[in-house]
Chains A and B, each alone.
Chain A
Amino acid sequence: MITKLLTKRYPGMRAWLMQRLTALIMAVYSVILFIRILVLQPDSYEAFLGFFQPSWFRIANWLFWISLSIHAWLGIRDVFKDYVPNMQVRSILLKILVVLLWVYIAWASWMFLSKQAA
């Protein structure tokens, strides 16, 4: 039943599930981030760099950003579907949204994954 609902025939179900999965990932990340800030209290540049140094945390940041992008895509797309009835305007807005999200992903990936960034 569930596997049938997740095939390409029911894209809405996939979107629904992705929205929830990415939400879960971001919720867990947010809790970890808050605890990490409270424990480490990075108040100097060195401490701040150290805060972003561990590779597990960089990967967590990156995973968070990918989840955020998918989540924002589905969420803002729904907002456009609800409030922008003009199909031409909507498709332009959706294209701008896609470009923006990809630019953010590239930026975040460079920041979190490259060595010279931090």
Chain B
Amino acid sequence: MQENETQSSCHCKAKTRPKNLNLFTIRLPINALVSILHRATGCILFLVLPIILLLLQLALSSAVHFEMVVSILDSPFIKLMLLGLAWAFFHHFFAGVRHLAMDVHWMTTLMKARYTSKVVLVLGVLATLVLAVKLWA
């Protein structure tokens, strides 16, 4: 490897070739934003599966443990995390319903797809806000 690199000049040129990996210079179209958020929220939901199972297990096991889980979920920081998780679920849910709708050929033109993308983003935030009111009120 070392020898190859020093011998060929092509390698040196390849090294100076510009790479555009600065994610902040890429402006995602709204459909792409909904799409990547669908993937990201899916990954987040997968990662919290063991926590959900553990909490459920604890809450079901005895009255004492149930109260423990309730008090854990009642702390302000955890509530905020819960809200973030809830948004992940809601976004994944609504974006998924949008995918299913498109699979049966509803709302497939570009303008309609952009419109439903906005609807998905708004519904996800709206559902989270409703839950926030429920949790804090």
* Complex interface: chain B residues within 8 A of A12 (CB): none
Residue B97, interface by CB 8 Å:
yes
Contact A27 B93 (CB under 8 A): yes
Closest residue to B59 on the A side, CB-wise?
A48
Known: A48-B60, A72-B46. A24 touches B53 (CB 8 A): no
Cα of A23 to Cα of B93 in the assembled complex, Å: 9
Interface size on B, residues (CB 8 A): 21
Contact B60 A52 (CB under 8 A): yes
Chain B interface, DSSP helix/strand/loop, else mixed: helix
Known: A30-B93, A48-B60, A49-B60. A20 touches B100 (CB 8 A): yes
Closest chain-B Cβ to A106's Cβ sits at a distance in Å of 10
Interface residues of A in 68-92 (CB under 8 A from B): 68, 72, 75-76, 79
Of the candidates A20, A45, A75, A111, which one forms a contact with B53 in the assembled complex, judged by CB atoms under 8 Å apart? A111
Residue A118, interface by CB 8 Å:
yes
Residue A63, interface by CB 8 Å:
no
Known: A27-B93, A79-B43, A111-B57. A104 touches B66 (CB 8 A): no
Closest residue to B57 on the A side, CB-wise?
A111
Residue A10, interface by CB 8 Å:
no
Of the candidates B46, B66, B99, which one forms a contact with A48 in the assembled complex, judged by CB atoms under 8 Å apart? B66
Residue A1, interface by CB 8 Å:
no
Closest chain-B Cβ to A56's Cβ sits at a distance in Å of 18
Closest chain-A Cβ to B86's Cβ sits at a distance in Å of 11
